[in-house]
Structure 1
Amino acid sequence: MKNFRTSVLLLFLFSTVIAFAQGRPGGSNGVKVTGKVIEQDTKLPLEFATVTIQTPDNVTVNGALTDAKGEYTVTVPPGTYNIKFDFISFKSAVISGKEIIAETNLGTMVMAPDATLLKDVEITAERSTVDIKLDKRVYNIGNDMMVKGGSVSDVLDNVPSLSVDAEGNVALRGNQSVTILIDGRPSTLAGSNVADVLRLLPADSVDKVEVITNPSARYDAEGGGGIVNIILKKGSANGFNGSFVANTGTPANHGISTNLNYRSNTYNVFSSLGYNYRNSPGNSKTNTEYLDDNNNTTNFVNERRNNDRLQRAFNGSFGIEWFLDKTLTWTNSISGRRSSGDNPTDTYYHNFDADHVFQNTRYRYNLENDKDTNFRYSTNLVKKFDDKGHELKIDASVSKSIDDENSVINDITLGSPDVVNSNERTKNYQNEDRGLIQADYVLPLGKDSRFEAGYRGSFTTLETDAKAEILEDGTWVNNGDYTNFLQYKEKVNALYSQFGSKMGSFSYLFGLRWEDSNIDVNLINLNDYHNKRYNNFFPSAFFSYEFAQGNSLSLSYSRRINRPRGRFLSPFSGLESNINVFRGNPDLNPSYTNAFDLGYLRKWGQLTLSTSAYLNITDDTFQFVRRASGDFIVHAVGGTDIVDPVTGEVTVVDGQDTRTPVILTTPINLSKEYRFGFEFNINYNPFKWWRVNSNFNFYRYESKGDYTFVYQNEEGVTITDFQNFNRTAYSWTTRINSKITLPGKIDWQLNGQYDAPQNNAQGRRVGVASANTVLSKDLLKDKATIALNVQDIFNSRKMKNDTYVPGELRSYSEMQWRQRQVTLSFTYRFNMTKSDRQKENQQKQQDGGGDDYMGG
């Protein structure tokens, strides 16, 4: 810990020295120059236009970039200057021989598009892919070709700071304790794997992704690692417009979707429809060496699994936005999703004795089918009391989700056709009802201060009816080990307030949130009832200092909570494998995180650097434990079966029994976790035809705690086992993305990612490298786009783990959720060119400016 604290202190001092070393251009004798830049045709502000101040002999003194409002501020020594304004695909503008001896406002500079440049070289000026706010980063997805024809899961995997592993779990800076929101609301089903929901939604439905590494008190306190908010597309351009997308690929990936919008002066109607048929073949393998109490080998089992996930999904939405008057807007929308799929899985268990001599192969076939239905109604009322940000927002929504999953499993021993180990079937029915109401009030105080307050109530009921049955003598008999009825009820009421202000170059934001949680976790069939009632305060604080335009330092703190839900709690697990089983823990408690973040942002012309150092300290963190259950799978090999006509008991004559231990993976609460790291994000446009962005994240992980569990071995003896989870591990991830415009106006995008190895409490995660690429071409006067996308070029994206539990097992596992995917997509825009879409995004940025504290 001493070295750890020293590292934090040194990094803090290093970042501070760098920031102050930049200084404020012009020094104490400098004078301030301000102004605004807008586009000639639309009168909209031009963000990221370059303002350069030079001496009459063309020596650059200082410069700046315009903000989201098109405004800039730059400081120079008194003198006479030429001021130059530049923006991609616009004609440069110059103010020559301007004498600046005192604070000067240059007024509004109007920039005209360069028609020649637009026609011969550039189609449109791409909007920056990232907007930096005080408490979040916003990534605009519209121009990202890499996700064409994919799912929302693919979108998130292309966002800096985020990663999606082979099972679809989303991590922020390597931390999977992250809350996923869709349009600011929890992604249903809460009881199902969120990864499945993200894979069902098409990528083309996403407008932007908000990454909130350290949320303020305005946001739900859920998510120890932060919040990811997925904003879906909603039309806003006047008149009728929309888009149509069709895609096909291999393995089978066929889809069609459309987004339509009509806007008038009094209302805005928007809708979307989509259907996709997707096959995601996957595979896994686990090689396990089983050990006795003295760490001597008892036997080996090599498990091989192949599956084809066939998914058919339909999603649609419809909404109306009424402009009741100039200050009052009421929006109502409904959305629905229906999907069905099959997941046939072949699993082979190759059994070996202690000397690694082959014994037999067991084959397990699982035919699973799934039906998922989701419906949601949302209403939103916005009252703007003035045009300075004084407003009240009221949101409410109700949703219902049903997931019906069934499977039939056959288990036989190959080479012994007369021996059927088992015939099983499982049923898993989930029904969720969710209600949400939220009110947010914003009151500007003077020019640079702001007060906010609000309420949020979230009410969820989730019932999971899980059954497992075994076929015995032609009759299905209940298997009590995997049958339960779980009822989860969650009521969370929250109040918050926050105050922020800007004093010159210094900004601050203080907030406090209070949440009252009332949670019931009931196992009805066992008469086992758990009530967890607690309330907590969640403070937050943000500080920012701007040394010059595009050169700032920030420091933030927040307290977070991570509540266990769904799969973490349910004691039932799927039985694709009956020797490696996942089981939830109904008695899990929430974990609490104190999060600190120190960030530095610097822009140099076409280069933007965003870096931060962060520290998360979590109490009662979740940890997955892999341990012996005390159960064994017993099956006969060879010999002759003799069935007792009275009891039905099977006796094997001249044969042998094979006994394989059942290994459980289950979540538990550990006492403490420390996560410290630093992150770099770089966006660079070296030329008009080349854009590069990269992300690097290094972190140190330390956990403290131990785990004691009790089970009975095969002789019926009670065994008490102990595992120590005190450990320290280092890891890092990096990603680079390059977009190049080739001759013939063909866009080529390539990205690569590497996740470094990481030690954990029971072994090691192996490093993994992967790459994706896409080629895109605009057609039909830029109204259409065709793209060829290859995900996982080298088919290398796999989750790999080495595990060692003394006295129990050594194992190596690989898991590939989806094999390499090739997709061809075609997009057509109705009454909406790429340039129109660019202007629409700028307009939305202006309309939504009040959503973010002082614009960032």
Structure 2
Amino acid sequence: MKITYFLLISLFLVWAAACQTVKAQSTERDNYRISGRILEKSGEPVPYATAVLLNAATQEQIAGAVADAEGRFFISGFKNGTYVVQSAFMGFNPITSSAFDITEARKSFDLGDITLEEEAVNLQEVTVMGQRSLIEEKVDRTIYNAEFDKTTVGGSATDVLRRVPMLSVDLDGNVSMRGSANILVLIDGKQSAIVASNIADAMKQIPAEEIKSVEVITSPSAKYDAEGTGGVINIITKKNNLQGASLNINSSAGLRGSNLGLNASLKRGKMGWTLGGFGRSGYNILGAFENQQTLLNPNAPNVNINQSADTRSNMLFGRYNLGWDYEINKFHFLTASVSVGVRNMKNRQNNLLTETFVEEEFLNALLQNVRIEDLSNNVDVNFNYTKTFEKKLKEFSVSGLYSKNNTTNDFVNSLYNENFDQIARRVMNENRGVNEEFTIQLDYITPLGSGTNQILEYGAKNILRRATSDFGYFRADGPDGPFIQDTNVAFSNEFTYDQNVSAAYTSYTLGFLDHYTLKAGLRYEYTTIDADFRNSELPADIPSYGLFVPSINLSRKLTNGNMIKAAYNRRVQRPSLQFLNPNINAANPQQISQGNPLLDPELTDNYELSYSTFVKGSSVNFSSFFRNTTGSIQPVRTIQDNDIIFTTFENIGREQAVGLSVFSNINLSGKFSLNGSIDGYYAMLSNGLSDPLYAASNEGFVISGRLFANYTLPKDWQIQAFTFARGRQVQLQGTAGGFGMYGLNINKQFNEKRGSIGFGAENFLMSELRIHNELITPTILQQSTNTMRNMNFKINFSYRIGKLSVDGPRRRRRGVTNEDLKEGGGSGEAVISN
């Protein structure tokens, strides 16, 4: 625990240093101050617009500030002189004020209301390049603007998430936030059944080109569901608020994958339609794995098992959506959407050789071929009604969501005879699953009093969820014999899991002492569960439970847009189907796994402290945290039949993590930008068991980092580069090896920037990537190596047809957010910032 105390003291020192900064800047602010309010032509404020103080003669940047939610800004940190203020925001023409003097006699100056003119857009003639940073820091979230990252072209959401600060993605696509894989992933503020099933697979299904930005919410307020120990990731897809019609075509072809996407939009008056489709294929994905394990038995000789195989994967993904919105009048707004998706993943393990030794004496050898199919199709139907009022920020909304995901997870294991010249027998597992959700949600926001420095939010929500797993084992003799079902209920059964979550919340936001914002809330959730096996007399009785979930966020806005934030919240993590599913997965008969339908939820307390600053146009963020989880769901591994490792899950763990992340966005010139981050935390894990055969604990540092560079060349050429590295991952019973990835993309715009063509290369300096994993228990020692041949070259192409023009900012959209379920791996919230 010494390291815990040391790092907690470090957090205190960060806070103390930031407080000294507050004190110093407050003294300076009292002496000199420039203020104003940035508005649209309609009189509406422009939140988070920038105001930069320039020397009137040299145009040198002296100081700056970011406007709050009401468009107000305050600039300090300067001395006597003659200045101008330049105000700007994406989608508007920048405007520069007249020159004014600051003297000893007049140390403050009020510019009054500054009106920005909307920037006209004609996509047949010009492409608007936003000046927004690739990474933005807001009061309650960090935003990664993925639309400016061209290195992800032809990829998926998995590739985008690898670039986002505070997130880590392994080679299988499993996502974690600050070392916790228990996160909630939303798509446009809504939960989908495809995500509830498996985050890694869902992210591979979403094309990178359709992602506008990614919001990382490390300390969700009470408005959000209590689920998601690590926090919330909200993936915002591209929408438009433009009048007219457009069609965008984008494609990519490479050595290991290709894609084709079509997106169309039509906006006429108050009604808008969007239609999109995207397909992606993966092929020629080759790899291998090696596995050496020693099974320790104090009463018998040790058993050593060596395994190796070549792997091949092919995949096909598609996602299609139809959206509709209608502005009934000034105060009433409707939206609806239907989205369907398909996933087809086929994996092979060829020449899976298993050699068994007792001590050093050879016992036997087995040769197998394994074919695995992971298929799914899903549909999401969403409807939303929003009513606004004359009073600013007052809003009422009703949202509904129906989501269904059908899954198929099958494998066929063909076992050769002793001479390895023909197939002796086959084992087949069929596992059909269905995940359904129906959600209704009501939200109400109202300012208190005549101003906007107090906001009250409250609402209610109900989620009906059903998960079904119908599984069976079949056995056959020879290569062509008929399959006969195994009637053992452990191998062939149907499992249903019904869950109902009813919730209510209230949240209060207060702006006080000029630059402070306090947001506190309380949420109550009551969960009932009914689980049942069709072919078993043993009921899966799971008691109902209720939870109070508090949250508190405190922020202090400093000069030049600097900000310091502190937060606490309690989170709950319910197990998803992949932890609950009692189907026995024996694709590799030496390593069998099975879910546990009797798992309880995890409970986690999160503490966070962060500081953001701007230095000469560049942003830097320091974020520290402490996380304590009880009832952690951890794997339990035992030995069966002397040589088989059996894995299931229990609520026996305790996890603690304390860490610090630093990321920065640096603008070296108008043509070159650089941003990167380093994330580190110290993990402490224990399963809480006293039996020396099964007790386990582990601790250690985990470090990861990423770097992104963008350079604009003459004649509409652009080059972007990206690299990511993750160190060794600490796990309860061993470690997962580290790895690194990198990519380079060059593209050229043509035909008045309506089209672009480019070339991309990934991991081009190495032909394969090797990851070493380790498992250590009192009874099992295992060393494994996974190899992936991930060098890739690709050609990217996109073209846009149509003529659009900006139609004023569209009303906020609300949607359903089902923020729960522990996986293997909101916008619209009122924010006060003075």
Q: TM-score, normalised on structure 2?
A: 0.89
Matched residue, 1:539: 550
Classify 1:522/1:721 alpha carbon distance in 2 versus 1 (closer, same or farther; 3 Å). farther
Residue by residue over 1:520-567, the C-alpha shift from the partner in whole angstroms, topping out at 9 and shown as x without a partner, is 232332333232310010000010112213112110111100111111
- Give distance in 1, aligned partners of 2:198 and 2:368: 24
Matched residue, 1:649: none
3-state SS of paired residue (2:568):
strand
Matched residue, 1:853: 831
Classify 1:430/1:91 alpha carbon distance in 2 versus 1 (closer, same or farther; 3 Å). closer
Residue by residue over 1:144-194, the C-alpha shift from the partner in whole angstroms, topping out at 9 and shown as x without a partner, is 112211112222122111121122211011211111222223232366322
3-state SS of paired residue (1:277):
strand
CA contact (8 A) 1:482 1:571 kept: no
Note if 1:579 corresponds to 2:587.
no
Percent identity of the aligned residues?
A: 22
Matched residue, 1:411: 415
Q: CA deviation at 1:424?
A: 1.1
3-state SS of paired residue (2:262):
strand
- Give distance in 2, aligned partners of 1:770 and 1:77: 44
- Give distance in 2, aligned partners of 1:293 and 1:9: 44
What amino acid maps onto 1:776 in structure 2? N
Classify 1:488/1:91 alpha carbon distance in 2 versus 1 (closer, same or farther; 3 Å). closer
CA contact (8 A) 2:36 2:111 kept: yes
Q: How much is the aligned-residue C-alpha RMSD, in angstroms?
A: 3.5
1:812 pairs with one of 769, 783, 787:
783
Note if 1:588 corresponds to 2:599.
yes
1:311 pairs with one of 315, 331, 334:
315
Q: CA deviation at 1:317?
A: 1.3
Classify 1:245/1:67 alpha carbon distance in 2 versus 1 (closer, same or farther; 3 Å). farther
1:523 pairs with one of 521, 533, 542:
533
- Give distance in 1, aligned partners of 2:692 and 2:319: 49
Note if 1:138 corresponds to 2:153.
no
CA contact (8 A) 2:761 2:792 kept: yes
What amino acid maps onto 2:629 in structure 1? T
Q: CA deviation at 1:813?
A: 1.3
Note if 1:162 corresponds to 2:167.
yes
Classify 1:523/1:596 alpha carbon distance in 2 versus 1 (closer, same or farther; 3 Å). same
Q: CA deviation at 1:77?
A: 7.4
CA contact (8 A) 2:195 2:202 kept: no
3-state SS of paired residue (1:687):
coil
Note if 1:12 corresponds to 2:12.
yes
Note if 1:491 corresponds to 2:500.
yes
What amino acid maps onto 2:203 in structure 1? L
Note if 1:471 corresponds to 2:476.
yes
CA contact (8 A) 2:511 2:833 kept: no
1:332 pairs with one of 317, 322, 336:
336
Q: CA deviation at 1:39?
A: 9.0
CA contact (8 A) 1:335 1:377 kept: yes
Q: CA deviation at 1:280?
A: 6.4
Classify 1:292/1:3 alpha carbon distance in 2 versus 1 (closer, same or farther; 3 Å). closer
3-state SS of paired residue (1:526):
coil
- Give distance in 2, aligned partners of 1:532 and 1:233: 42
Residue by residue over 1:74-122, the C-alpha shift from the partner in whole angstroms, topping out at 9 and shown as x without a partner, is 136785532242769978846324356265321355689999xx9xx99
Name which structure has the greater RCO, CA cutoff 8 Å, separation 6+: 2
- Give distance in 2, aligned partners of 1:68 and 1:155: 28
CA contact (8 A) 1:182 1:231 kept: yes
3-state SS of paired residue (2:219):
coil
Classify 1:106/1:255 alpha carbon distance in 2 versus 1 (closer, same or farther; 3 Å). same
1:802 pairs with one of 774, 790, 793:
774
2:439 pairs with one of 420, 431, 436:
436
Note if 1:27 corresponds to 2:34.
no
Classify 1:587/1:46 alpha carbon distance in 2 versus 1 (closer, same or farther; 3 Å). closer
3-state SS of paired residue (2:832):
helix
- Give distance in 1, aligned partners of 2:748 and 2:69: 29
What amino acid maps onto 1:250 in structure 2? L
1:278 pairs with one of 272, 279, 282:
282
CA contact (8 A) 1:242 1:832 kept: no
Matches within 5 A, 1:751-770: 751-770=722-741
1:631 pairs with one of 641, 644, 648:
641
Matched residue, 1:727: 698
2:209 pairs with one of 204, 208, 212:
204
Which deviates more, 302-311 or 20-29?
20-29
- Give distance in 2, aligned partners of 1:234 and 1:92: 27
Classify 1:232/1:88 alpha carbon distance in 2 versus 1 (closer, same or farther; 3 Å). closer
Classify 1:434/1:795 alpha carbon distance in 2 versus 1 (closer, same or farther; 3 Å). farther
Q: CA deviation at 1:855?
A: 6.3
CA contact (8 A) 1:286 1:811 kept: no
- Give distance in 2, aligned partners of 1:358 and 1:393: 69
Note if 1:666 corresponds to 2:648.
yes
Say which one has the larger Rg: 1
Q: CA deviation at 1:774?
A: 1.7
Q: CA deviation at 1:696?
A: 1.0
Matched residue, 2:676: 694
- Give distance in 2, aligned partners of 1:196 and 1:774: 25
CA contact (8 A) 1:30 1:77 kept: no
Classify 1:470/1:84 alpha carbon distance in 2 versus 1 (closer, same or farther; 3 Å). same
CA contact (8 A) 2:542 2:598 kept: no
Classify 1:527/1:184 alpha carbon distance in 2 versus 1 (closer, same or farther; 3 Å). farther
Q: CA deviation at 1:706?
A: 3.3
3-state SS of paired residue (1:238):
strand
2:662 pairs with one of 662, 675, 680:
680
Q: CA deviation at 1:36?
A: 4.4
Matched residue, 1:321: 325
3-state SS of paired residue (2:99):
strand
- Give distance in 2, aligned partners of 1:61 and 1:55: 10
- Give distance in 2, aligned partners of 1:113 and 1:463: 52
3-state SS of paired residue (1:181):
strand
What amino acid maps onto 1:813 in structure 2? S
Matched residue, 1:175: 180
- Give distance in 2, aligned partners of 1:276 and 1:80: 58
Q: CA deviation at 1:826?
A: 1.3
Q: CA deviation at 1:734?
A: 1.1
Matched residue, 1:83: 84
1:256 pairs with one of 260, 272, 285:
260
2:757 pairs with one of 783, 786, 794:
786
2:515 pairs with one of 505, 527, 541:
505
Residue by residue over 1:287-322, the C-alpha shift from the partner in whole angstroms, topping out at 9 and shown as x without a partner, is 324244249874433322333332233322112111
- Give distance in 2, aligned partners of 1:510 and 1:427: 48
Note if 1:293 corresponds to 2:304.
no
Classify 1:843/1:92 alpha carbon distance in 2 versus 1 (closer, same or farther; 3 Å). closer
1:366 pairs with one of 365, 370, 382:
370
CA contact (8 A) 1:389 1:442 kept: yes
Note if 1:219 corresponds to 2:188.
no
Q: CA deviation at 1:787?
A: 3.0
- Give distance in 1, aligned partners of 2:329 and 2:7: 56
CA contact (8 A) 1:54 1:62 kept: no
Residue by residue over 1:756-797, the C-alpha shift from the partner in whole angstroms, topping out at 9 and shown as x without a partner, is 224433223333222222222222211112233334443555
Matched residue, 1:635: none
Q: Which runs of 5+ in 2 are unaligned?
A: 815-826
Residue by residue over 1:481-517, the C-alpha shift from the partner in whole angstroms, topping out at 9 and shown as x without a partner, is 4333221111001100101011201110010000001
Classify 1:486/1:493 alpha carbon distance in 2 versus 1 (closer, same or farther; 3 Å). same
Which deviates more, 495-504 or 196-205?
196-205
Q: CA deviation at 1:599?
A: 0.8
2:200 pairs with one of 192, 195, 204:
195
Aligned residues: 806
What amino acid maps onto 1:506 in structure 2? Y
3-state SS of paired residue (2:98):
strand
- Give distance in 2, aligned partners of 1:357 and 1:566: 42
Which deviates more, 731-740 or 280-289?
280-289
CA contact (8 A) 1:145 1:787 kept: no
Classify 1:759/1:778 alpha carbon distance in 2 versus 1 (closer, same or farther; 3 Å). same
- Give distance in 2, aligned partners of 1:752 and 1:535: 44
What amino acid maps onto 2:427 in structure 1? E
